[in-house]
Structures are given as C-alpha cells and as structure tokens.
Amino acid sequence: MNTPYKFWAYCNNFSIVMDAQLLLQSQQGDKKSIARVISLIENEAQIDIVPSDRHVPVIGITGPPGAGKSTLTDALIDEYIKDGKRVAVLCVDPSSVLHQGAILGDRIRMNRWFNHEKVFIRSLSSRGSMGGLHPQIDKIKIFLQSCPFDLILIETVGVGQSEIEIIKHADKTILVLVPEAGDEIQLMKSGIVEVADLFVVNKSDRPGSDFFVAQLSNMLKSKSSSKKVCATVATKGDGVVELKKLIDDLL
C-alpha cells in the first residue's frame, strides 16, 4: 500500500539531489549544467536559486527589427573577451507559430563563440510574450548572475517604441537604431526612447547617418538629457570600442 508513496518520495528526493548537483556544477561554470538549469526554468520547474551577492551587470540591447542588434552584440562580445571577461548572452528570438520555439536567427550570427570557454550563449523563444522577452527572463537572469560571469547581455526581439519590458531586467538599456529611422524621429518621444540609457546608430555608413545622429542628439538635448549617441558599423567593427567605453562608463 505504501509503494506509490515511497516511489514518489524517492523520485522527489532524487530530483532535489539532481537540482543541487546541477546548480553546483553551474556555479563552477559547467556550460552543460547551465544550459540544463535554464531549460528547467523555461519549463517552470521549481528550482531554489539563491541570488548572488556578487554584482553582475546586465546590459539590455533592444531596437527595431533589422537594426543589427545581433551583429552588434557579437562585436561587443569580442571587445569584452579582449578584456578577459566572461560573458553570458541571452538572445530572445521570435516564436515559431507552429511550436512556440525560438527560430534561432540571432544565435546563428554568433556561432564563432559557441565553443569559447568564456562565452555562454542561449537562445530563448519569446513564446508570444509582449515586450520582446521570454516569460521567465527574470529567473534566468538571476540564475546566470549566480554563475561565474562578469557580464550578461540580453538581446530582445525586434521591438517598437512602446515595448519597454527590458528596462525591468537590465541595469542599462541600449537602443539600436538605423539612419532610415530619421524620418520618424519626431514620433519617437515616448516609450523606449525615453527609458534607453544609450543610443546606437548602427549601419552608420549608410546615406543620411550623420544627419540622423545630429537629429537624435538635438532631440535629447532639447529634453535636457545627457544621454550619449554612438555611431557604429557593427559588421566592420567601427565604433564598437567607443560603444564599449560608453557602456563601461554607465556601469
């Protein structure tokens, strides 16, 4: 009569032991364990994660589709690795309409880092969540902060100006734009433009980029804002060193 209860108790205790082992291995930097714990969190498993006392800054990278967020994130990883930093990257991809999984476009663009010992990259599906993030993003972030990383980058799905969920989870938020947004700058007076801490005009080798940078800078000045605007060409690495310095100055 007690067999079902004993079996359940055994399985439950085994699960607790496995969770403890996974967390310990994760905190020691084992990537497979880190990936496994994130999968459990994604599936809403009950895992007791104690927030770390060590401050690990979180940088949010957001902006409209096609702005080059993934390429820019890839270039930033390169600069932080040169500094000897260990970097965790969460790439939130659009959900598949068939199975709600991630399409993995962002991760493909960062494939040179897959086997690097100091880089951990995980693609997450937005699962239809508003704001360009995964529903469990906060728990995943707290977990990664307990692992041996020096910095966490969160790249959102391409979002519009009203989708500002990232600011709840990042210490600082970078808004990536392109020169073609210049015609719409007067419309961008609320939402993500107001809450971003740093602005990047990527693909600045395109026509009209200087005008757009000046226009954006003037808009910020008109609001008595001291926020910076940085021009980059992420595919060539242009401006990325300057961008990293601006980010470091914010942290």
**pTM of the predicted protein model:** 0.84
Domain segments of the chain as ranges: 49-250
Q: Which helix (H) or strand (E) holds 173?
A: strand 172-177
Write the burial class of residue 129 (CB in 10 Å: 0-12 exposed, 13-18 middle, 19+ buried): middle
pLDDT digits (tens, 9 = 90+) for 96-154: 544 444 455 555 667 888 889 999 999 887 655 544 576 789 999 999 999 999 999 99
What's the CATH class of domain 49-250? alpha beta
Residue pair 247/240 in contact by the 8 Å Cβ criterion: no
The single-letter code of the amino acid at 96 is S
Cα(228)–Cα(64) distance, rounded to whole angstroms? Answer: 19
Predicted confidence (pLDDT) at residue 238 exceeds the cutoff of 70: yes
Cross-strand bridge partners of residue 229: 199
Conformation bin of residue 37: beta by default, left when phi > 0, alpha when psi is -120 to 50: alpha
**What residue has token string 């990536």?**
176
